[in-house]
Amino acid sequence: MARSSIYSGLIVTGMLGLLIFSIIYFPEHYLMISFLFIGLTLIPFLLRFEMRKITGKELVLLAMLSAVAAVSRVPFAAFPSIQPTTFVIIVSALVLGAESGFMIGAMAALVSNLFLGQGPWTPWQMYSWGLIGFLAGILRNTWFMKHLWGKALFGLITGFAFGWIMNLWFIIGFLGEITFSSVFAYYATSFYFDLAHAVSNVFFILVFSSGWIKILQRFKRKYGLLAT
């Protein structure tokens, strides 16, 4: 734990340095810097996953959950921004922990984009969904995540946060002048989509989370992952 917090500290300071450096030296290249930023955030997680010795069962479980998260968008194709992908990622992370949560979120984003077509948004989606999984895993043993209302609140906040992060790549790159009013105008247009995402998260968590957590815990035991 001590060593990993040193690493995270280094990464956070490194990122801050990169941000300040980019603002001073490349004020006109926000988008490129932001891609560098996202890339550098993804890399430590992927490297950690690479270095772990992982059994076939764990690998298959992670792949199946990522695929379920990606495919769960299919029955909801008719409604924009209502999809249970975020919900699937949150409950998986609550059962399997932060690192698995991150991988499931990032994989779900990557793979669904391999089918739907990649774009400049792919790393951002990997980042946002991965981060939601990571946070849910980190917070899973805190007192408020033990309560249903705590999980619902987490779903509400992450629903908005996902949309806000996803807005960024567009704003940073293509809205030109980044002023308070232009950013505000853009976020105002996306508000109802973010609201729909957040409210549907809360709804899914309230209705389904306890059942899903029970199912996943049973499979965790069945796959022999009781120790983790």
Partner 1 sequence: MLMSFLHPFYLIAAVLLLISLTLLQGLVEQLRNRAKSFFFLTLFIVAVNPLVNHRGTHILFYFRENPVTLEALMNGFLMALSLLAILILFISYNFVLTPGRFLYLFSKILPQTALLAMLTLRFVPLLIRRLDEIKIVQKSKGMTITEGRVKDRAKNGVSLVQILLTWSLEEALQTADSMKSRGYGVTKRSSYERYTFTKNDIISIVLLLVLFAGCLIGLFNGYGNLTLYPDLESTSMGGAEWSVFVLFLLYIGFPLLVEGREQFRWRYLN
Q: Could you tell me the smallest distance in angstroms from the CB atom of residue 19 to partner 1?
A: 18
For helices 85-96 and 98-116, what crossing angle results, to 10°?
A: 150
Task: Name the 3-class secondary structure at 81.
Answer: coil
Cα distances from 49 to residues 45, 93, 101, 198, in angstroms, run 6, 15, 12, 29
- Per rule CB under 8 A, count of chain residues that contact partner 1: 68
* Contact flag: residue 40 with partner 1 (CB under 8 A): no
Find the part of the chain contacting partner 1 (CB under 8 A) among 2-10, 14-22, 68-76, 158-166. 68-76
**Among candidate residues 124, 113, 119, 102, the one with its CA nearest the CA of residue 70:** 113
* Contact flag: residue 79 with partner 1 (CB under 8 A): yes
Beta strands in 103-219 (DSSP E): none
Site for partner 1 in 140-169 (CB under 8 A): none
* Contact flag: residue 28 with partner 1 (CB under 8 A): yes
* Contact flag: residue 31 with partner 1 (CB under 8 A): yes
Task: Name the 3-class secondary structure at 119.
Answer: coil
- Residue 25's CB is within 10 A of a number of other CB atoms, namely 9
Pull the structure tokens for residue 60. Answer: 């298959």
Residues that bind partner 1 (CB under 8 A): 28-29, 31-32, 46-47, 49-50, 52-57, 59-64, 66-68, 70-72, 74-76, 78-79, 82, 84, 87-88, 103, 107-108, 110-112, 114-115, 117-120, 173-177, 179, 181-182, 185-186, 200, 203-204, 207-208, 211-212, 215, 219, 222-223
